[in-house]
Structure 1
């Protein structure tokens, strides 16, 4: 059931469950709802899996192996489980998932307001008219509004600027060097994409950690799955709830998968700086923390290797031993200013993440920073849930890997509410 709406309709429609968001999280809970015979609608303001279609660059690929694509009722069935699906393959996987169970999608419908009703349930005002739902699952994820610093306003119009979500390929950028700001997964992979295309890249290095790709003969994802790390709930994690604020480790699935070592890029000619600080006149200023940020990324890299070593030793597993890691490059000095005109920088890519946008949600479920308050997706407001948030329960919560497990957990709570109403 794939319905499209071109305009508002009259009358209030009543549904047991409303799901807001048609990405992998919304589709996962819809699968469970259909399996349990619970009527619902999935509201998607654009098209199902839209972020994968419209907000990824051309060479984008997964950083986790294909076997971790295990949406409910639809595990990866291809011939390359250890590979990394490209953007178009990811979209095809999600399109096939939709076709496999025909969810009640309302595409092109924007939920403009959601609020609890005094008598119970919720009111949804949408671009296709008003709805009332007994329960609501918010599956819009945690990344809605691209972050671009106000300092960007001080760059002249002659320097093209775009957020990482709008980057597609090196050819879309004007001639000249490129400044990439941010070294999370997107920033590092975009910097590599430009570097491999022969562009001169200047990279403002942040505090993101990095990860090995293969260690002691196996993909690191396999080791961490087997050792149980990916099954650790955030409540049991040594960092507790602060783990939800961690930046993802950078690495890539490109060309069969490899780790990203920014020091190696520097040896090959990429220019590295500390964190972006400001724009003053014709200069971009950086914090004097490049060495520290590189060292901390390496500390995370080595900690992962050490944890695998401990697991191998504890289980008595025979695995090849690798030589100690030796940095291939060290910054000779902290460069804190760059004249973008002299450097010939023609474009800047801001890759410093997103912030959430819940202005449309009028419910007392947020903390002082505007983040959802929940336990495994269940909020203090009866019948209101979140799904697909980073570290909602485990490392894989916001990913193909474990969003289905989180959906199953919410399904139990939804069914309980349905049973209470029936009683």
Structure 2
């Protein structure tokens, strides 16, 4: 792109990673209002902020693809449903769709989630205070992923250690550095566990069923992707939803007295602060989008956060309103062929977690330790310190 072309996007030119990570909503609103597709030097790519254009990109994998050698996750875990498009994407994804359909989630996972929630809360209740992200939301998300994968002789703590090492490796590759020894070791251990699980051929295993149609290496890669999708985003969904209610005592009281309100609370929470804030695509051809001339190979980043606060779709978009009639038009789980395969599981986890956490008496944030979501890719509080009555 020429320097003259870049001067057409002054708001994007001034955007910093620090601002995008901390509290980006005023910046995103300015971009959406004047530069809905803007070149951001800080991202070395385009940022799409309007709901209409974001949905257009997400629904058009022929023009805006994930299948690009720069896609860092694929460089660490291998090709998977996350990093392929077209027929190959469908082939990788299809073996995993059935277990995550709404009816299957209700029958297969609801009781499991309820058991893990009660186990975690039983440990927390006598304390009267906790970091809800570190002591509840995170461990719950990890435990459910471990259960969903059904790996032989692997506990939640081991899954978490693999996940953390793989995330670090992806971050290193994204920054242009080689992945460290810990990331290589984690993938090796995950591979060994998946192969052992496939060999035992438990008919109830999601991975064994997938192994009927995918190679062992492909099952390993998709198992790693399910770890990504099931841990960070679900942890963020739970933490953000609790924070949104604690910030609104009137709605907290309403949700406590009427559990039928909770599904709407969850949906409005992911609209207002989606746990996965951005997704990346790469242009397969030159294309005009929102007044911008995108060249083949350009990075095109969709801001889910900005699209979800587009006033053209969501009136008074910065307010938390569980009675919003069209909240489910949010793009928190993406759209098109890469719509989040675990969306129903994540919603169910968040709903059950929220219902039980709200039963803690006199639940409140710790005023001495305030919390706010932050993060460029995954947005959630670094910690959510809460207190409750034990009397």
TM-score (norm 2): 0.25
In our comparison, the structure showing a higher alpha carbon Rg is: 1
Q: Which has the higher contact order (CA 8 A, sep 6+)?
A: 2
TM-score (norm 1): 0.24
Q: Comparing both structures, which one devotes a greater share of its residues to strand?
A: 1
